[in-house]
Amino acid sequence: MRNVRLISHMYWHRKHQFALEYDTYRYWTMFVPEEGRFAFRIGGHAGEAGAGDVVLCPPKVRFHRQVVEPVSFHFLHLELEEQAREDADGSSGSSRAVSSLSGRAADEAAASLPDMAGRWTFRDKQRLAADCMLLHGRGGGTPEDVELLKRHAVNDIWLWTLLEKAPESPEQPSGDSLPPSGDPLMDRARSYMARHACETLQLRELAELLHMTPVQLTRRFRAAFAMTPIEYVTELRLARTCRLLEETSLSLEQMAPQCGYENGYYLSRVFSKKKGMSPSAYRKLHRI
């Protein structure tokens, strides 16, 4: 896994609006909101982000953003370590400053976004909160200690984002056994749903991201994978439920929000219907 170098860091408290509707940067840009919400669009990735989320925008890509409610956030520029070493050979301080790029260059870059672009919702909220405390400079004594801890926090967030997107990550929804479909757009839809299955996922929003109607998305997804998007998301949610039943002692009420359901009662109904047994019976059968 590649580490990153912290180029710059600024904290904004309850910002009511952004000075620019969009901008582009030479470096990776990371937004880590602590309160409030903002809407964003990075290529084909769009949505809203708030506390517990991290939004990443690659270099040379337009970062559209708009405040939804006054937002407090960390605003950081990062550089991959190997790129930093290459730049160090022939770059002066002035040439390394963050700068905007032409619209054409930003559009070209957006055509092939890295997998990490977009919003990532961290399941380990306490860890992210602890990293934010380090970014605020708490926990360090000397200025050198503060900067060291900030670098540690940034790399911790970056590496956990890599783990969130990794197919074998324990934080990623399990139960995804579908092979590639041969339809790149539907493979992209499946990847998006796999990452966000246990969140509040709206089919309409995903369809809009793909420039389709919900009906078109449902038909095309069924043709690609022999199941509807809703059936696929339910499969992923129940796979996570099974894992929690097997590995933890959490109640259904505690599990429900982690598995994409409003409450334990509804989770129990869906689970019993799809699995042919109650969650308690499943837990008793599979616990060692």
**Phi and psi, residue 177, nearest 5°:** -110, 10
Strands (E), 24-62: 28-42, 45-49, 53-57
More confident residue, 93 or 45: 45
Average pLDDT of the segment spanning 3-16: 93
Cβ-in-10-Å burial (0-12, 13-18, 19+) of 287 comes to exposed
- The boundaries of every CATH 2.60.120.10 domain in the chain are 4-122
Q: Which of 236, 268, 234 is nearest to 252 (CA)?
A: 268
- The boundaries of every CATH 1.10.10.60 domain in the chain are 181-288
Rounded-to-integer distance, Cα 137 and Cα 145, Å? 9
Pair 283, 246: CB distance under 8 Å = yes
4-122: CATH number: 2.60.120.10
Q: Give me the residues paired with residue 45 across strands.
A: 42
pTM score over 0.75: no
- Per-residue pLDDT tens digits for 12-44: 999 999 999 999 999 999 999 999 999 999 988
- Per-residue pLDDT tens digits for 77-124: 999 876 555 555 554 443 333 444 455 544 444 444 566 788 888 777
C-beta neighbour count of 172 within 10 angstroms: 19
The token pair that represents 171 in the structure block: 């934080």
Torsion of CA 19, 65, 128, 10, to 10 degrees: -20
Average pLDDT of the segment spanning 182-199: 85
Res 161: pLDDT? 77
Res 12: pLDDT? 96
- Per-residue pLDDT tens digits for 217-260: 999 999 999 999 999 999 999 999 999 998 888 999 999 999 99
Pairing, β 45-49 against β 63-80: unpaired
Residue where the block lists tokens 């324990």: 170
Average pLDDT of the segment spanning 147-169: 75
Cβ-in-10-Å burial (0-12, 13-18, 19+) of 6 comes to buried
Statement: residue 179 has pLDDT above 90: no
Statement: residue 49 has pLDDT above 60: yes
Cα three-residue angle 270-202-109, rounded to 5 degrees: 135
CATH class of the domain defined by 181-288: mainly alpha
Statement: residue 46 has pLDDT above 80: yes
